[in-house]
Structures are given as C-alpha cells and as structure tokens.
Structure 1
Amino acid sequence: MQKCIMGKKIGMTQLFDEKGKIIPVTVIEAGPCVIVQKKTIENDGYESLQVGFGETKDKNVNKPSKGHFAKADVACKKHLREFRLDDCSVLNVGDIIKADTFVIGDKVDVSGTSKGKGYAGTIKRWGTRSLKDTHGTGPVHRHPGSIGACSDPSKVMKGKKMAGHMGAETITIQNLDVVKVDAENNLIALRGAIPGPKGGVVYITDSVKA
C-alpha cells in the first residue's frame, strides 16, 4: 500500500469521456485528512499511520482522545483509521493528505460499511427460490424449507444459509478507476458504485491487485 485517504460518500452521477460515452461515477469528498499518530517498529512492532478525518467539537470527544489529539497538536477529528503503508517515512504527524494524492487513471480499492437491511429471510438474504404460489402450496411460499437431514448427521451443518441480520458489513470494492480529481473542492470521482449510504465514511487505498 502506497497511498491512502479517508472520505465521505456524496452520491452517484455520470460523466462523459472524450468519445462522448457515459461513465457512471461515485463522488467522494476525500479529505483533507491529517496524520494523528505515526507507529514505528521500535515502539509498536510495526509501521503504520493513524489518519483523522472529519471535524467535530471538543465536547463530543472523551478525555483520553482529547489528550491523544493534543499530543499530536491537531484539532479533534470525528473518525480515526490506521493505514499500513509500505513507506511511512514520507509522512509525519501533522501532515495533511488531500484528494490530489490520487491522480486520474489510478486503480484504487474502496472499503465501506454496506447499508443495513435488518432481519431478512433466506430469499432476500441469499437469493434462494420460493415455492410456487398455486396448487395448495399453503402459507409457506417464502419459508426456508428443510435445513438438514434426519438421523444423520442429526444436526444443522455450519454455514447453512438461513434467515438473519443482513447488511451493515465491511465491504471492499477492488480495482476502481479514478475518473476525475477536484483538488480544490476535495472531490474524487470513481467509476462504478461503492458500498454504503450517502454520507457514509469510506477508505480509499491504491489497489493491491492492479
């Protein structure tokens, strides 16, 4: 990992390339982010950078966090995230990461929390088929049906796809193209969709499979 930034999902729109073709893009308000802490092999056993994003009032931050931000001499931030870069020596505590850290044509991975769907049945959650609606099927059209055998193995196997909580998971979308960068307004446009609702926090890094 060479580059990283945190941002907020603004929403989706479309852009046009030089040939007039429509490109569906997701617009992200990326940064500005500040380096709050720098971890080293000598002190922590590994190298990483702790990045802060989003302004917040001091009254909304607890006492230990206030001391943490005061030690770095930076304003209190709403979100903190660690990134393990290949070379952390290029950045120091207090440095600012802006949207122009990425350029048009870069391949990036984007992580975010997907929309929560609540408690969902097997059809919505896993895409299983429903029973037919006619010929006396009865009130069980969307039921999961059998979940295992009888005497052998006398249990429900692990990993069985059943009803349960759906969504609200960390999802990573890989190899998205950076279509446009507006450094003045801290905006990055990425080709395609990314996880999460509008206003959700996302984490952008250079692609591991590019």
Structure 2
Amino acid sequence: MMGLSQWSPSHILPAIRQQIRTAAQITSIHAVTSIRTTPPSKQHTIEEANKRKQLLDRPGLFGIKRGMMTWFTPQGEQHAATVIEVDSVEILGHKTREQWGYDANIVGTIDKLKNVAQPQLKMFEEAGTAPKFKFGEFRVRDGSGLIPVGTELKADYFAVGQLVDIKGITKGKGFAGVMKRWDFKGGRASHGVSKAHRKPGATGGNQNPGRVFPGKKMAGRMGGKNSTDFNKEVLHTDADAGILIVKGCIPGPNKSIVRVADAIKLYGKRIGQT
C-alpha cells in the first residue's frame, strides 16, 4: 500500500473525475454574435387597422327613431317597419389621412339654438351650418368618399330596396335576472322547488372547480349597450318630409339617435376579400 506521502495529484484527479456528473453547459451571451434584425410591424397602428377594416366608399347619416308601423307592399304583403326621421343632416368637416391617419366625414344632425360650446362654434362657422345637437364621424375607404362641407344629406340618400346597417344604443332594462337577460329556463313550478323558480341554479361547484369562471351568465344590468342590426331593407324614402322607413325593428327606444349606413357585408368588401 502507498503511504499518505506517496499520493500525488495525478492519483487524486482521476478519482475525482469519476464522481463528478456531467452537466449541461450554457453558452455565455457574450460569445454569441449580435445580429440586428428588422423590427416587426406594429399591428395596432391606424394604418394597419384601416387595412383590416371593411370601410365603405361613402359615409352614412344620423337618424331619429320615431316608432314602428305596419307597411303594406303593392302585392298585399304585410311587414313590421320602423320610421326614422332625417333632420338637418349636414357635413361639418373632414378628417384626412395625412393629418389623422384615416379619411372620415364629420356629420351633424338636429339644429341646436343655445348652449353651444365655444370650441365647437369655430367648426360650425367654417362649415357654414347651424350648430348641431349631435355630430360624429363616419370613416370612408379613401379620399374619394369625402363629401364637400356644408352638403345636406336627405332621406333619399338611400334607395328603396337597398340594404343598410343601423347602429344604436339598446333600451336600458336595469338590473335583470337570468331568465330575462339570458333566456334561462328557470326552475320547476312545483314538485320540490321552494322559492327558486327563477334562479339560475348552481354556478361554481363545491370543490371542482370550486369557483365561478369569468364570463358566467348571471344576473346583472341589461341593455344600454351599442348594438348593430345588419342588412335592413329600405322600404320607403321621402326627402321633403325627411322620412326613412326600414323593414323590421332597430335597436334603441323612440326618439333615440341611430347611425344609418350602407350594409357593410354587401358594400364593404374589398378586392380579393372574401
């Protein structure tokens, strides 16, 4: 046997190497050559958003919902219809792509005779129109859809038989239960049901999953949200009376202001877009 003094590093190192396990080696970031890559295009810019949107060639207009009626066709057919009043709708200004990143017409409706904000008076003076109670913008596909300032849009802006989209704010129903808000069936009327006829039932489970998932249909505030009805047929237009009659019902209560525009699913498609 070797004495302690006879051991040398050459005898110790092989033994140590046998006990050490091999591990993955991580390359230092300083050893990697840096390469400058092109930055990705930002998908949230206005230019990219305009490419994804189905914009129309011309703007829409504002209307006032006046109520529903029964409309009879020359063939004797009976349809439920909604009467929309077009009151003093005029072009107040433009938003151009060079300044704002998109093209839009600023449209106003309903003459306002008092309590007009001072910053808004300049826009009305430049347009040469009376102050408006309601105004907003309608985006268009390009600059060819910009209508001259001061132009009045009447009810015959849309043709009979044309399809239009109508956007409004739905009627506010307040706090509603699940049967009214989500069309739940509810509990049974008898046979063991006690004071739970209109309740939603179990929502979260006891242990699995033991919680209520986000987005669960439950009782809450109903209505008062933006809603769009697509492809409404125009039944009648009267430019002098300012009357536009469309087939079916539209969102919002009577006397509410709605946005009427060409049907986006029919007229908003671009070349090569399905």
Q: Give the alignment's TM-score, normalised by structure 1.
A: 0.93
1: CA distance, partners of 2:245 / 2:143: 26
Match of 1:107 among 151, 163, 166: 163
Q: Residue in 1 aligned with 2:210?
A: 154
- Contiguous gaps of at least 5 residues in structure 1: none
1:80 partner letter? F
Structure index of larger Rg? 2
Q: Aligned pairs, how many?
A: 209
1: CA distance, partners of 2:183 / 2:80: 26
1: CA distance, partners of 2:80 / 2:195: 42
Alignment map for 1:59-208 (pairs within 5 Å): 59=115, 61-89=116-144, 90-208=146-264
Q: Give the alignment's TM-score, normalised by structure 2.
A: 0.72
Deviations, residues 88-133 of structure 1 (Å, cap 9, x unaligned): 4451221111111111111100111111100001111001112112
CA RMSD of aligned residues (A): 1.6
1:87 Cα deviation from its structure 2 partner: 4.5
Deviates more, 1:128-137 or 1:4-13: 128-137
Deviations, residues 138-164 of structure 1 (Å, cap 9, x unaligned): 112112221112333332111100010
Structure 2 residue 80 is the aligned partner of structure 1 residue 24: yes
SS of the equivalent of 1:144 reads: coil
Q: Which has the higher contact order (CA 8 A, sep 6+)?
A: 1
Moved over 6 A (4+): none
1: CA distance, partners of 2:230 / 2:152: 25
Question: Is the 8 Å Cα contact of residues 58 and 66 (structure 1) preserved in structure 2?
Answer: no
1: CA distance, partners of 2:80 / 2:143: 34
1:23 Cα deviation from its structure 2 partner: 2.4
1:95 partner letter? T
- Contiguous gaps of at least 5 residues in structure 2: 1-55, 267-274
Question: Is the 8 Å Cα contact of residues 32 and 99 (structure 1) preserved in structure 2?
Answer: no
Q: Which has more strand, going by share of residues? A: 1
Q: Which has more helix, going by share of residues? A: 2
SS of the equivalent of 2:76 reads: coil
2: CA distance, partners of 1:120 / 1:186: 37
